[in-house]
Structures are given as structure tokens and as C-alpha cells.
Chain A
Amino acid sequence: MSGFPILSLMLLVPLVGAVACLFAEAKAARWIALAATLVDLALGILLWANYDVGGAQWQFTERLPLFAGFNYALGIDGIALLLIVLSVFLMPICIGASWIGITKRVGEYMAAFLLMETLMIGVFAAQDLYLFYIFFEAGLIPMYLIIGIWGGDNRIYAAYKFFLYTLLGSVLMLIAMLWMVHEAGTTDIPTLMNYDFPVQAQTWLFLAFFASFAVKMPMWPVHTWLPDAHVQAPTAGSVILAGVLLKMGGYGFIRFSLPMFPEASAHFAWLVFGLSMVAVVVTSLIALVQHDMKKLIAYSSVAHMAIVTVGLFAFNVQGIEGGMMVMLGHGLVSGALFLCVGVIYDRLHTREIARYGGLAINMPKYALFFMLFTMASVGLPGTSNFVGEFLSLVGIYQVSTWVTFVCTTGIILGAAYMLYLYARVVFGEQKHADAAAMPDLDTREWLMLAPLAAAVLWMGVYPESFLAPMRKDVAALDARIARAKPEGDSMLKIGEPKASAAHEEHAEGAH
């Protein structure tokens, strides 16, 4: 494979497809989009198959100097590889989800999605700072259009809110990038990842990047765009938003914040922990009282992403690998949950939880899939999210028992709001005749959900397939940031006489 520009090809295929879709009829546009995404999926599998686990850190590199030090430079490590595979895996499913639901301006819609695919892959493959920035920011535009044109009733408000939030953070990031290039004299990301910026400068650089990534993630309290965006976006838009766009924040932390500003990352770790702890508890409780299915799942995403951030800032291998696994798992599971909502939204055109009930009677196949993804979302062992959450929390436990304790309450609250949702939608009596008359999954829907179900179980039972490619890169990152590693609060001491009064105190405290 060496020398073959497979990454460029993966960028090009959807781009060409997008242009073709713009000029095609509705029916043709659908097939073009499906073909383009399937070709990209095939290329993605090829990429994964040819990725040399344990080989060079950066593989499939391409470099073309353009102007003023600006390069068209692509290349991936294991972390980027997995996120690219996630993106190309979700795309055909998104096209499938839009097959019937989208009836106006189909060509433009498909073009927007394909453009988005190019930009997403670009974000994960870019090795040049400016190139990354372009892909990162340009990704806003198709998403903005998808929400603003094909969204629900209040789509304009949601689209502007989405745009305003995400753009605000990005401006600060651009300024930081300009300064970094000036200081380090290069735009090459791998070089910058090993460049030691002065500790004072790291502080504001970190904050500038943090502003952008925290919004993307999204972290509390800059999360309020997410529920609105999800609620208004069409199903496929929600899938890609939850599945991939949110992961750009986490990817940013792994690629930029941690390796480029290790000292500042350690310094601000407590900010991250604090916001994450608030997010886990607050957004989980908010999810508990939602009446709108999509809003509920959107709030649950905020809580799950908080587990990612604590894992990443745990400064150890388990935490970072766990954070990555949660990102991948959440990408599949929340995407699948939004599809599940989409399936019944297509039939009844409401997201109001109270309008459903007793779906297990008339939609048993749907009930089974929904159950699986619900359980994956609450982190049942054997599903994708468990591996990630477990590793993240193992990682953070080595830093702080308090943070672990607060974040682990997420498993209780998560179970409460997801099962409450499931019970209201799928269990119970059939209260409404129209909901009771809905047909079960058709072949198209089955083909969308089954691969996701398989992937969720695969990641849960044999996560080695996903851990192996990133192992070396995470170890490298861990070595890079080791010098700033914070001291854990457990501080195990062996060989001391035991403190006698402590036991009773704890026996009380455990409850």
C-alpha cells in the first residue's frame, strides 16, 4: 500500500459524489450518495486492514507543500484510524436513514452529507495545523445547513445557536494556532506534538484550544446548543452529530491539548474534572425529566462525554484508552439510539415520549434493538460502552477517588433515565391507536441497525481489535505527558500500623 494516496482518495470520493449529487435527480442522488459512502467504507476497511499495528507512528503519509509553509499533509496514527473507520462506518447508515424521510432538495441534502464526510475524514487525517483548522471549521457549514434547511420547526434558532457557540471557540483557537506557528516555526502537527512551549504560554494556548474543544465536546456549561441542535436536526444529522462531530473535541484534546501543552493540561485538569463531575450529575438529572426523546439522548451524550474528558485528563494509559473507547462506543450507541428515535418518528412524526407506549407488542424486533442499545448506553458489560467507561474510571481512580466516585454515580443515573425512557416507550399498555398500529422494522431499517448492533457487541466482547491499533500511540502520548502527571490521592502506604479509629468511621461512610 505504500505510496498509494488512499487518504486523499477517501477525501476525494465523497467530494466527487457531492458534486454529482448537486446536479442529480432525487432518486439518483440517493444512489450516488449510498455508492460514494459505501466505496469510502470499503476504503476505510482497506485502510484498517493495511494499517501496520505496532509499526511507524504515522502511516499513509502524504505531503504536498503549497505556499508560505502551508502543506497539504495527511497521515494517520491508530487513534485517527479508528475515528476515520467510525466515520465511514456511520455514513452509509446515515444515507439509509435519510432514504425516505428526506423529500425536499434531496440532491443538496446528499451533497451536504458527502461534503461533511470529506471534512470529517480530513479532520482526523490532517497533519498540518492550518489544514486541520480548515477541515475542523468547514465541518460547521454542512451541519449548519442540514439543521437549518432540513430540520424541525425551530430549526433556524437551533442552527444559529449551534453556529454561534462553535464559531466563538474556534476564533480563539485560530489566534492560538497563529502564535504557535510563529513560535515553533512549523505547521507540522507531529513536530508540534513534541515541541515544548514555554510553560507560561501554554496556559493561554491551552485555554484558547479548550474554548473550542469544550464547546465541541460539549462540556458543561457550554452544552446547551447540543439538545437544541439534536432536536431540530433530521435523524441522520443527529447520528453524525453525536457519532462523529462530538468526537472532534475529544480528538482535539488527544492530538493538541495534551501533547502540546502537558504542563497546562495538568494545571487545568481540575477545571476539566470539575466541569465533568457537574456534567455527569446535572445533565443526567436533566435527562431524567425530559419529555422529548431526542433531548433526553442529547443530554445523556453530555454525561457520557464527561466520562471521556475525565479519562483523557487522568494522565495514564487506562484513562486515555478508556476515553477513546467511550468515544468510539458512544459514537455507535448514541447514533443507534438516534436511529431508534428516527424509526418511530418517521411513523408518528412526534418525539413526545408520552405519545408512545407498548411498542413491544406491535414492534418486537424494534424493541429488541432498542433494548440492546439502551443496555449499551448504560454500560452493561459485554457492550462497547462498558469497556470504555470501565477503563476511563480505572484511570481516573488513580488520580482522584472523589472524581471517580462522582462520575461513577453516572452508572446509577444513566440506568435510571434510560430504563425510564425505555419503559415509557416500549413497555406499558398501548395507549394510542396510531402508535399501536405502527409496523415493525422494515428491511432498510433492519439493515441500518443490525451492523451497529454487531459492532456494539464486538467492541464489548473483543475490544482488542480496537485497543491494539491505538496501544502504541497512547503509550507514546502517556510517555510525552508523564512529566506533568499529577499525584494520585490514594497514596497507598504499605507497612504502616493501621489507624484504629478509621474503620467505624468508614463503615458509616460507605452508606
Chain B
Amino acid sequence: MNPILAIVFVPLLAAIVAGLGNRALGNTVAKSITTIGLFTSCALSWPIFLSFLSGHSFLWGAGEPTVTPVLSWVHSGTLSFDWALRVDTLTAIMLVVITTVSALVHLYSWGYMSDDPDQPRFFAYLSLFTFAMLMLVTADNLVQMFFGWEGVGLASYLLIGFWFKKPSAKAAAIKAFVVNRVGDLGFMLGIFGTYLVFQTVSIPEILAAAPALKGAATIGFLGARFDTMTVLCLLLFVGAMGKSAQLGLHTWLPDAMEGPTPVSALIHAATMVTAGVFMVCRLSPMFEAAPAALTFVTFIGAATCFFAATVGTTQWDIKRVIAYSTCSQLGYMFFAAGVGAYGAAMFHLFTHAFFKALLFLGAGSVIHAMHHEQDMRYYGGLRKHIPWTFWGMMAGTLAITGVGILDVFGFAGFYSKDSILEAAYASGSEMGRTAFYLGVFAALLTSFYSWRLMFLTFWGKPRWIESEHIQHAVHGEHEHSDDETSHDHGHDAHAHAHDDHGHHAHGDGTGGYHPHESPWSMRTPLVVLSVGAVLAGFVFQPAFINTESFWQGAIAYNEHLIHAMHGLPLGVKLSATVVMLTGFAIAWFAYIKDTSIPAKFTEQFRLVYLFLYNKWYFDELYNFLFVRPAFWLGRKFWLWGDVGIIDRFGPNGAAWVVEKGAVVAKRIQSGYLYSYALVMLLGLVAAISWMMAR
């Protein structure tokens, strides 16, 4: 059997068995099936990736692009597409990213979700997600890609709403799905347009035909006439913006943090949100034929990278900081793609998957240790208590901020982020330069908010005593210690009442609480991902960035740009390192040296702070522009349109006319036979209308 079939379908089978078996199977069996399934997929994926890396066949990895047909799907006229699994370099990269992170997240969830009453369901969703994501990256045609696209959307919806009793989780799940659907509108129109132009939805055929249309074809769209490739690429990119939470369609991602933390690591950091980047890279020859669309991609990427980083500096919720950080890093990937550095975009996707999953899982471990407290204001001084988590988070932070020394060694982000900035500068275009400056500034902010997170969490004095969750935990331990296993994510209303109980007499701010390091099932993924965060950049940089043969035509490889990147002035190459150190210094001053600085700053620049803290007021704006009008219009269309106009003047009106007519007719009884005949007739009609209007 072809291993790619097993890689893709084993997670599906595991999801079905665990999901349908659910309580009949029991927690351990369901968890084992899904986790073993994912580790199998992962083990099968690595040889395929290594074969592409080496350029030779290795075990079952062929080292060259293959397509495995699965089943016929739709054939309608000249439109036809089938289920098939495509494996080339691009897919191979995604395979190892997805299966590795997913397998580790499955393992991590053994510990993280151990108190949850609904574990089989959780693991089934995780495996289902993995299947959908694998279908997305192995797609050979746009429609199967859309299948995976929507499948991951479904899994994301189910997992965000996993704790479905919480109103906030419920709302966040709907928001994620609906906002993504706005992007899907663009994706679908893009597929329709692509079919109209190329008469096929097969990706290789489209990519082969696209270059010929560069600037040479126009098409009508919504009543105006545009360059064909620009229209198609922009429509498809709108889909990518939705899935990858780019500026304008990003509002669902921070709310998606309502899901359990392993979900945030897998879906909302490492894999699903990068699907948009993958799509642009997969279709890179198409985008290369649409320079205007690429300019737009660069613009959106750079703007998102900047926007999200600014918001990330002000958030208190540890997961939200990392969520905005993800959003910002995705912006980097997009502007890399926008300037034509698809290799750099994929490289950052690859390294980001490791260090961002690491940061999320580390945050999960902190949250686990802090009894579900997510507010960093109530952390502090955790370095000694949870050392494994601390060192894991440290590796992730060094990677994301891009610590490294040129030509010697650096952590993962050092290589990938610097490649992107260099590519943006080297592209020479106006938008590329703009992206470079925004990207460098965002790198400063990245360093600042990352270290802010580290300092608030692991350094300083414990501030745990003010946390309701901690108080609840301490109180619970005192009063009924064995009841604490029950999962309680809501803020318990009576948690406040115990403020003045004597057991908070500890003057050290701990409130008598003792954070515990996570179990081995949670620590192991942290260790593995730490290795990735440290080494992924150094080891894989030559292949991703500098080797055209590695890609084997899977992306549009811009030889010229790579050469330009090598000849950049030293100032450009060092700029990222300089701002990284600056960001670190600011964070150190503000959160270690003199902790009164942040409060003073927010006081001084209140409006700026509020603007950033409220995420540039996007949610409020959208509520005002779309959500409330939709409900208002719905009510008006219903009560005025359907009931007030159509029904009143339609069926009810007809009945009214006949009824009134009958009343008049009754008065004109004359004794003449013909008028009685008329009355009889009208009476008959009136009887019907009376029945109806009753």
C-alpha cells in the first residue's frame, strides 16, 4: 500500500473510531487509538520529507513528485475533479509539520485534558482536523483543497466550541466559522473564475497555463473589466486572508483562544492558519503572473505583521499575546510570498510551526500549573517552580525573537525571519521596501512583547494571590481537596467571598499556592519542539532558501532574488538583530528594572494604549457595520416584508376583500332570486375566507 494513503486516512479512521466509540470505548482506548494513529502518520511522513531533502529515494519516499488517485469525485460537462493525493516538496514539508505537531499535541493532551469528562470527543476532533489538513495539503485540484479548507474550518469550529457550555466559546466558534466563510466566498469565486478561464481546476494544469496569461488577458467581473490573473489571484487571496487571519479578516483568531490550549497550538498556530500561506505558495506561478495581486499580498502581509504586533504588546491574556504574535508572523510569511520569496515564506512557516507550537504548549503548561489562570498580571516568579516549562518557553522566545549571530549560529527564527526581511529589501520594489521597514519595526515589537511575556510570567515576585482561579484552587484544597478534579473554567461567583479568609497570610504574594510542573506527557512535546526551535533554522536553511533543486518546481523559485539577497549591505542584514536587542532592552527596563514604567506609559499615552488594547476597535466596527444591521434587516424583512406587505396584500388581503364584500352583500338582500344567487355565491366564498381569517 502506498504510505501516503495511510498517512492521510489513518487519522480519519482513528477519528471515526474514537468519535463514534466515544464512551463505549473509554478514555484510554480512544486516546491510544488516535495518538498511535498520529504517531504512525508522523513516522511515515518523515522519510518522504527526507527523500525530498536529499533528492534521492529514501525508504518509501520517492524523492520526486507523485500523484496517488483515490476515487472519482465530480464529472459535470467539461468540469471534472477527483480525489487524489499529490506529494511534492511543498506537500512533504507540510506533511512533517502537520503530523509532527499533531502527534505531539495528541501526546500533550493526555496530560492537559486528563481532567476533562469528554476526552474521546476531543481526541476524535484533533484527529479529524489532522485528516482535513492533510487533505488540504495533498490536494491536486482546487476543489479538494477547498474540501480540506472547509474541513479544517469545521474541526476548528468544533474545537473552539469544545467547552460548549461557555457562552464565550460558543460565540467564538460561530465567529471563527462565519468570518472564515467570508474568505471562502472569495475562494469560491476564485475557483469559479479559474475554471472559466482555464477550463480546468487541476492545479498543475492551471499553473502550466498561467504564465501565458500574464498581463495578456482581461476579464469582466462585477460589471467592470480587469486584468484576468489579477482578479483570479485576488479572489483566491481573499480566501487565504480568511484562513490565515490577515488584517480585515483576522478578528476570529484571538477569540479562537477560547478553545483548549493544545488546539491553539495545533490549529491556531502551527497548521491551519498557515493554510493561506501554503495556498499562495502552491499557486505561486499563478501569482507570479499577477504582479498587482502580489503587491496587494505584500501590503496585506506587512500591514497585518505591523498591526498584530502593536496589539500584542498590550494584551494581558497569555494566550492572546501569542495569538496576536501568530497573526503577526503570518503577516511576515505573506509579505515574503508577496515579494516572490516563496521559499522564505515556507521556511518561516516551517520554523514557526515548531516554535509557536512550543510557545503555546508552554503557555498551556503555565496555565495548567496556575489552575487555569490566563492573566499574566497574576503570574510572576514561576521560573523556579516550573523549570521544564520555563526552559521550553525560553527556547521558543529565543527562536521567535530571532536570536543569533550572523554566519555562526542562530535559533530558528533568526534564519527564517531574516531571510524574509532580506528578501523584502532585496526585491527593490516600493512595496517591498515598505514591507521591510514595517517588518523590522514589527520585529522590534515581537522582541518586546515576547520578553514582556517571559518577564511577567517567570520573573519578578509572585502576584498569584489576586487571581480568582488561584484563590479558588487554594480554597478548594483546604475545604474539599478531592473535588478539584472537576473541570471548572468559569469564574466562580463565590470565589470572591474567600478573600478575607486567614489562609492568605503569606506575605509573598503566592496566596499559599504551589504550582506543579506538568506531567511527562506534557513535558516531552516541549522538549521535542525545543529541539526544533533551536535547530530547525540552522539545519534546514540551506535547503529551503538557497537550493532550487530542493523545490523541484513545487514553487516559483526566483533565482534573481536569491542572488540579490546575498549581496545586501551589512546594515540590512544586521537590522533584525539590532531591533531584537532593542526590544529586549525595552522589555527588560519596563518589566524588570523599573516596573512602574508600563503604568506611567499607559497613563501618558492613554488614547494610544486604549486603541491598541481594544485591538484597533475592529470588533466594535464590524458589530456596527455587519452584525447588528444583519439582524435588524432580518427582522424588518420578516415583519415588514413578509408579514406586513406580502401576506397583508396577498392571501390575507384577498380574504379581507371577500369578507367585506360579503358584509355589504348581506345588506342588499332584496327578495329577488338573482340577488339571492349572488349572495349564495358570495356566501360560499365568505365561508372559505372566514375559515381562513379565523
Residues of chain A having any CB pair with chain B under 8 Å: 156-157, 160-161, 164-165, 221-222, 224-225, 227, 282, 285-290, 316-318, 321-322, 358, 360-361, 364, 368, 371, 375, 380-382, 387, 390-391, 393-394, 397-398, 401-402, 404-405, 408-409, 411-413, 415-416, 419-420, 423, 426-429, 461-464, 467, 471, 475, 478, 488-499, 502-507, 509-511
Instruction: Note all chain A residues with C-beta closer than 8 A to B83.
Output: 461
Task: Check if B635 sits within 8 Å of A289, measured CB to CB.
Answer: yes
A249-B146 Cα distance, complex, nearest whole Å: 31
Say which one of B74-82, B448-456, B496-504, B602-610 lies at the interface with A.
Answer: B74-82
Q: Which residues of A contact B215 (CB under 8 A)?
A: 497-498
11 contacts between A and B (CB under 8 A): A288-B631, A380-B150, A401-B222, A402-B223, A411-B185, A419-B173, A423-B173, A490-B219, A498-B215, A506-B231, A510-B235
Residues of B within 8 A of A412 (CB): 178, 181-182, 184-185
Please, which residues of chain B bring their CB within 8 A of the CB of A322? 76
Which B residues are in CB contact (< 8 Å) with A290? 638
Question: How many angstroms from the CA of A490 to the CA of B72 in the assembled complex?
Answer: 30
| Chain A positions within 8 Å of B73 at CB level | 461-464
C-alpha spacing A412/B185, complex, angstroms: 7
Contact yes or no, A423 B219, CB < 8 A = no
**Bound complex: CA A26 to CA B649 (Å):** 42
A469–chain B nearest beta-carbon distance, Å: 13
Could you tell me if A463 and B74 are in contact, using CB atoms closer than 8 angstroms?
Answer: yes
Complex Cα distance, B452 from A150, in Å, reads 67
Tell me whether A419 and B227 are in contact (CB under 8 A): no
- A318 neighbours in B (Cβ, 8 Å): 76-77, 79
CA A105 to CA B551, docked complex, whole Å: 73
Tell whether, in the assembled complex, residue A492 and residue B630 are in contact, meaning their CB atoms are under 8 Å apart: no
Beyond A224-B647, A318-B77, list 18 extra A-B contacts (CB 8 Å).
Answer: A156-B694, A165-B651, A225-B651, A286-B634, A286-B641, A289-B631, A322-B76, A387-B74, A401-B220, A402-B223, A411-B184, A428-B164, A490-B220, A497-B216, A504-B292, A505-B224, A507-B292, A511-B238
A381: contacting residue among B147, B157, B185, B222, CB under 8 A: B147
Name which of B43-51, B190-198, B315-323, B583-591 contacts chain A: B190-198
Residue-wise interface mask of B (190-234) relative to A, using a CB-CB cutoff of 8 A (1 in contact, 0 not): 011101110000000000000001011111111111111011001
B656 CB, min distance to chain A CBs, angstroms:
13
Residues of B within 8 A of A503 (CB): 226-227, 230, 292, 295
Chain B residue numbers with a CB within 8 Å of A364 are 22
Contacting pair B221 A427 (CB below 8 A): no
Interface of B is mostly: helix
B664 at the interface (CB under 8 A from A): no
Query: Do B213 and A381 touch (CB < 8 A)?
Result: no
Q: Are A221 and B646 in contact (CB under 8 A)?
A: yes
Are B184 and A423 in contact, with the CB atoms below 8 A?
Answer: no
Task: Indicate which residue in B219, B634, B654 contacts A493 across the interface (CB closer than 8 Å).
Answer: B219
**Residues B292 and A321 in contact, CB atoms below 8 Å apart:** no
Q: Is the CB of A427 within 8 A of B161?
A: yes
Contact with A along B165-200 (1 / 0, CB 8 A): 101001101100110011011101101110111000
Instruction: Report whether A423 and B174 are in contact in the complex, using a CB–CB cutoff of 8 Å.
Output: yes
Q: Are A429 and B192 in contact (CB under 8 A)?
A: no
CB-defined contacts of A321 to chain B, threshold 8 Å: 76-77
User: Which residue of chain A has its CB nearest to the CB of B192?
Assistant: A397
- A residues less than 8 Å from B362 (CB atoms): none
| Assembled-state Cα–Cα distance A480/B76 (Å) | 17
Instruction: Please pick, from B158, B189, B637, the residue contacting A285 in the complex, using a CB distance under 8 A.
Output: B637
A275 shortest CB reach to chain B, Å: 13
Q: 3 closest Cβ contacts across the A-B interface?
A: A317-B77, A503-B292, A397-B192
Q: For residue B598, which residues in chain A have a CB less than 8 angstroms away from its CB?
A: none
Q: Are A464 and B77 in contact (CB under 8 A)?
A: no
Give the CA-CA distance A505 to B318 in the complex, in Å.
40
Of B185, B218, B228, which is within 8 A of A408 by CB? B185
State the CA gap A173–B372 with chains docked (Å). Answer: 67
B673 located at the interface, meaning its Cβ lies under 8 Å from any Cβ of chain A in the complex: no
Q: Is the CB of B181 within 8 A of A397?
A: no
Contact (Cβ within 8 A) A391 B74 = yes
- B537 part of interface (Cβ distance < 8 Å): no
Would B196 and A462 count as touching, CB distance under 8 A?
no
CB-defined contacts of A498 to chain B, threshold 8 Å: 215-216, 218, 227
Contact A427-B292, Cβ < 8 Å, known A221-B646, A391-B79, A510-B235: no
Residues of B with Cβ closer than 8 Å to A?
19, 22, 71-79, 83, 143, 146-147, 150-151, 154, 157-158, 161, 164-165, 167, 170-171, 173-174, 177-178, 181-182, 184-186, 188-189, 191-193, 195-197, 213, 215-228, 230-231, 234-235, 238, 248, 292, 295-296, 630-631, 633-635, 637-638, 641-642, 646-647, 650-651, 654, 688, 691-694
Shortest CB-to-CB span from B434 to chain A, Å, is 15
* A316, A381, A509, A511 interface centre (most CB from chain B within 10 Å): A381
**Set of chain B residues within 8 Å of A401, measured between Cβ atoms:** 189, 193, 220-223
Q: Say which residue of B164, B221, B292 sits within 8 Å of A490 (CB atoms).
A: B221
Bound-state Cα–Cα, A222 to B193, Å: 33
Instruction: Give bound CA distance, A95 to B140, whole Å.
Output: 44
Q: Are B225 and A285 in contact (CB under 8 A)?
A: no
Q: Determine if B220 and A428 form an interchain contact, defined as CB atoms under 8 angstroms apart.
A: no
A462-B72, A490-B219 known; A288-B634 Cβ under 8 A: yes
B356 to chain A, nearest CB (A): 27
In the assembled complex, the CB of B202 is this many whole angstroms from the nearest CB of chain A, namely 15
Residue numbers in A under 8 Å from B231 (CB-CB)? 506
Question: Which of B230, B295, B296, B638 has most A Cβ within 10 Å?
Answer: B638
- Neighbour of B75 across the interface among A221, A409, A467, A509, CB < 8 A: A467
| Contact A282 to B637, CB < 8 A, known contacts A423-B174, A427-B165, A496-B216 | yes
Point out the residue from A368, A419, A495 that lies within 8 Å of B178, measured CB to CB: A419
In the assembled complex, the CB of B430 is this many whole angstroms from the nearest CB of chain A, namely 13
Residues of A within 8 A of B650 (CB): 222, 224
Cα(A380)–Cα(B688), bound, Å: 45
Minimum CB distance partner of B652 in chain A: A161
User: Closest CB of chain B to A488's CB: distance in Å?
Assistant: 8
Q: Among the listed A225, A398, A502, A509, which residue makes an inter-chain contact with B225, where contact means beta carbons less than 8 Å apart?
A: A502
In the bound complex, CA of A288 to CA of B218 (Å): 39
Q: Which residue of chain B has the shortest Cβ distance to A371 in the bound complex?
A: B158
The reply to whether A462 and B71 contact each other, CB–CB distance below 8 Å, is yes
List the B side residues contacting A420 at CB < 8 Å: 174
Do B691 and A160 touch across chains, with their CB atoms under 8 A apart? yes
A423 near B692 (CB under 8 angstroms)? no
Distance A505 CA – B231 CA, assembled complex (angstroms) = 11
Q: In whole angstroms, what is the CA distance A289 to B631 when docked?
A: 6
Chain A neighbourhood of B641, CB < 8 A: 282, 286
Say yes or no: A411 contacts B292, CB within 8 Å: no
Asked whether, in the complex, the Cβ of A397 is within 8 Å of the Cβ of B196, the reply is: yes
- Cross-chain contact B691 with A156 (CB below 8 angstroms): yes
Cα separation A387 to B78 with both chains bound (whole Å): 15
Contact indicator B151/A382 (Cβ below 8 Å): yes
Bound complex: CA A285 to CA B635 (Å) = 8
CA gap between A509 and B224 in the complex, in Å: 11
C-alpha gap A358/B222 in the complex (Å): 44
Q: Residue of A at shortest CB range from B247? A: A511
Given contacts A224-B642, A497-B215, A506-B230, contact A380 B74 (CB under 8 A): no
